[in-house]
């Protein structure tokens, strides 16, 4: 199966409230019909996840940050729930498995 992609925005507190299916084809009328719950229900065993953060947009442009994108790849064990905070500045970023 092909990977399914979601997108979201953070709120004023830096938290994501909802994930929406991502469609790079806005003019073709193709709208993804999967939900995050569908994807999570299909997972058996450990799964690999990737989060991409558009840090250039956050800081106001590619010339405002050394890292225009922060990518975090991690493994989730079946049935687990993780928080993955991202601490970011114009010239560095770090992340960890939160509680």
Q: List the CATH code of the domain at 6-95.
A: 2.60.40
Domain boundaries, the chain: 6-95
Sequential pLDDT tens for the chain (99 residues): 677 888 888 888 888 888 888 876 555 566 667 788 888 888 899 999 999 999 999 999 999 999 999 999 999 988 888 899 999 999 999 999 987
pLDDT at 79: 84
Give the whole-angstrom CA distance, residue 91 versus residue 98: 22
pLDDT at 26: 53
Dihedral over alpha carbons 42, 46, 48, 53 (to 10 degrees) = 90
φ, ψ for residue 4, nearest 5 deg:
-105, 140
Residue 90 C-alpha from the chain's centroid: 19
Task: Point out which residues pair with 53 in neighbouring strands.
Answer: 70
SS3 55: helix
pLDDT at 50: 93
pTM, two decimals, is 0.77
pLDDT at 1: 62
């Amino acid at each position: 199966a092909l990977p399914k992609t979601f997108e979201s925005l953070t709120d004023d507190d830096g938290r994501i409230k909802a994930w929406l299916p991502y469609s790079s084809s806005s003019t073709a009328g193709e709208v993804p019909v999967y939900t995050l719950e569908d994807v999570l229900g299909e997972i058996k065993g450990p799964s690999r996840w990737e989060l991409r953060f558009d840090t250039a947009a956050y800081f106001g442009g590619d010339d405002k940050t050394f890292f225009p994108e922060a990518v975090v790849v991690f493994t989730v064990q079946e049935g687990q729930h993780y928080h993955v905070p991202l601490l970011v500045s114009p010239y560095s970023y770090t992340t960890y498995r939160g509680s």
